[in-house]
Structure 1
Amino acid sequence: MSRDYKAEEILKLAEEYKQDMSRFLRDMISIPSESTQEKEVVLRIKEEMEKVGFDKVEIDPMGNVLGYIGHGKHIIAMDAHIDTVGIGDPNLWHYNPYEGYEDEEVIVGRGATDQEGGMASMVYAGKIIKDLGLEDDYTLIVTGTVQEEDCDGLCWQYIINEDNIKPEFVVSTEPTSCNIYRGQRGRMEIKVTTKGISCHGSAPERGDNAIFKMAPILIELRALGENLHYDEFLGKGSLTVSEVFFSSPSRCAVADGCTISIDRRLTDGETWQGALEEIRNLPAVKAAKAEVSMYDYSRASYTGLVYPTECYFPTWVIPEEHPVCETLVEGYRKLFKSEPLVDKWTFSTNGVSIMGRYGIPCIGFGPGHEVEAHAPNEKNWKSELVKCAAMYAIVPILYVKEQAEK
C-alpha cells in the first residue's frame, strides 16, 4: 500500500523534474518518427523508462512501448502516440523542426505537442510515483503507441486484442491545454468513384467523362455537409472532400475514372452505416451509378507487422458524472486549487478504439494546445509538462482509494 501523501509534494517534485522532462522531450523531437518509422524514438523512450525506475518495459510485436509500474489488481493505462506527421514546407519553420528551440517557457519542434509532450510527462509521473512511494493496489501501464497519425486507434486494437491488455480506464495525454476532455467526434474515410469510357479528347462525344459525372456529386456533397446532425456536446457532424484522383489514357483523352476522398466527422447520434447511406442516396450519386465505400488500412508497422482495419473511427463520450471523469476533476482540485474546464477534443485520438470500439472508459488530460498539432513551429509549454506529470502521478492512487471505498 502507498504511504500518505500530500498533493503539494507531488506538485513540488513535478516542478523539480521540469528540466529532465524538457531534455527528454527535446531528445524525442530530435528523432524523426513519422508513422511506421518510430523505432528509434521507441528505443529512446524505453531507455528513459528504465532509467527512472519503471518495474518492467516491453516493446510489443507491433512496436508499441509499454512501461509498467506496480503489480496491483486495478489495471490503469495512460497513452501517448509517439509518431508524428511530417514537417510540411520547411520555409514555414523559424527553427529546424528536429533541432527545435527552447527558452524558459516553451519547447519548439515537430512532436512537441502532438504528442511527445504527453510521453515526457507520463514517464516522469512514473518517477514521482516511485520517489514518493505512491504505489497502491494498481498496475499502471504507460503506453507509447505507433501509427496513430496514419490510423488512430489501430495500436489500441492490437494492445487490447493481441497483447490482451484491458485496463479499467485509460488517460489519453493528447493535448488538452491541461483541461479535462471527455469525448470527441468520430470519423470515417470514404471514397466515391465514378466510371466512364475513354476516347480521344478531340471527339469527347464518343466517350463518357467520369470527371464530369463527379461534378454534380461534389455540389451535392457540399450541401449535405451543411445539414448534418447536431449534438449539444460534440457539435455538428462535418464532411469535406480531401482528395481527387482520376484515370485517363492521356491528357488528350476523356477520363475513364474519377475518385474522391471524403473526411467525414461523426457526431454523437450518427453511425457509419448512416453516413454511407446519406451519400449513396444523393441524386447525383444515383444518376452516375457511383460506388461509395469505406477505405481500408493495411500499412505495415516499423516491425513489419500488418494489422488491417477499416478506416472507421467511432465517436465516443463519457458522462461528466462518470467516476473516471470525477477522479480527474478531484485530482485537479487537489493539485491546483481551482476548478477545471471539462470539455472535448475537436480532432480524433486513440480513444476511438479504447472507448469507441471497446467501451473502456477514456479521459483526456494533456500538455499543449490543439492548435499546435500539425502546425509549423509546433510548441509546448514547460509549465504544462509539470502540471500533467503531477496529475498523472495522483490519478491512479485517487482512483484506487475511491474504488476501495465502494
Structure 2
Amino acid sequence: MTTIVFLGAGSVVFTRQLLTDILGFPELTGAHLVLHDIDPERLATAGSVATRIAEAHGARPKITATLDRRAALDGADFVINAIQVGGYPATRTDFDVPARFGLRQTIGDTIGIGGIFRGLRTFPVLAAIAADMAELCPDAWLLNYTNPMAMNVTYLSRVAPRLNVLGLCHSVHWTVHGLCEIVGVPFEEVEFDSAGVNHQAWILSWQHRGADLYPALDAAIAADEQLRRRVRVDMYRRLGYYPTETSEHSAEYVPWYLYHDEEIERLRIPVGEYLRVSQDNLAEYAAIRDGAPITADSDAVEYAPQIIHSMVTGTPRRIVANVPNVGLIGNLPAGFAVEVPTLVDAAGARPQPMGHLPPQLAAVNRPYVSVGELTVEAALTGDPRLVRHAAMADPNTAATLTVDAIERMCDALTEAHGDLLPEGLRR
C-alpha cells in the first residue's frame, strides 16, 4: 500500500485538489492517505474532505488524521508539504509592516521582503521535517509546494542533502495554457520548454505542429491594447521570452514597476493582492468546514499526483520541477534551486540540463538568486546582518527605500515575527 502524507493538510482548498487528482488514478484509490496539521479544527475538516472525496470517487483509501507529525511520517512513501508557518497573521505582518515604510508588494511569498521573512520562519520547520524523514522514512520523496519555493528547496539541499526533494508549482502549466488560449490552439497539441527560477522562469520554446507560436502571440498583443496592459506582456516585449508567473507576481521581482504610480496604473498592478486572495481562501475554508459542496478540477493538473502515479506505476512523464542547480543552467549560480523540465518514472526523477539561458534572462534571474542565497545563508549561519543584505539586494525593495529605511524595516519585521524566526536572527 502506497503511503502519502499531507503536511499542512488543513490548507483544505489546496488539499481538496490534490486528493481529487490522486484518487482519480485507479492505481491509487487504495492508498493510505495520512493527514497532518497542527490545528485540530483544520485537521478534522481535512479528514472530512478526504472522506467525502473518496466516496465521490467510489474509492476506499485508508485515511488517517493525526496532530503528531512523527506519527504521520513513519513509513511514508511520499510527503506532500503545503505548510504556511504563522498562517494568515504572519502574512498580514509581511504586508502591513513594509507598507508603513512605503514599500509596495503584490504577493510577497517568493523574494522581496515578504519572501525573505516567510523563508526565515519556514526554514526551522523544514529542518525538523527533514530530520524526522531521515529517521522515519529516509527513502520517501518530499514534494514541496510551500513558498518561498526556491529558497526552501535550496535550504533543504544544504541541511539535508540526502533527502529526495522536488519543488512543485503549477505556474508553467497555467502560463502555457493561457498563452494557448490567446493564440487559439489546443494546449494538448503544443510542445514547450521552460527554464529559470520558480515564478521567474521563461518559455524558451513553444510550438504547435513544429511551428513557432511566438509570432502568433506578437500579432495578438499588437491587436489588443488590454493585453499590453499586463506586466508580463510588458516584460516579454522587452526581453523576448514570456515569463512563467502571473503579472501580480512578476511585478514585485524587478525594480521597474511598483515604485512608480504611473506604472501601477498603466499595467493595472493590484498592490496587496495576496491579502485579498488569503481572505477569499479563509472564506472558502469556512464554507467547506460548514458542509459546502466540494468541487475540484476533474483533470490531474497538479504535479504531485502525477509524480506519485509515475513512480508507483512506472508511467513516464515530463513535468517541471525545482531542484538544486547542479549543471542544469550554466549561467545561473550553482547550488541554488532552478526550475527545469524533469522526467519521472519508477526510477525516480531526472532533471534535464538546459544549457545557458539567453543572457538578458539570466541577468534578470541573478538578483532573484542573490536574495535567496543571502536569506538561506542568514538562516544557516545565524547572522542577522545577512537578512539586511538580502533586503538590500532585493530589486523592488532597493528601488523603493533608502538603506536606512531598509534596516529599520527589517528591525520592525524581526520584532513583529518574534519567535517564529530562528533564535539567532531575532536581533
**TM-score tier after normalising by the smaller chain length:** under 0.3
Greater fraction of residues in strand: 1
Which of structures 1 and 2 has the bigger CA Rg? Answer: 1
Q: TM-score, normalised by structure 2?
A: 0.24
Query: Higher RCO, 1 or 2 (CA under 8 Å, sep at least 6)?
Result: 1
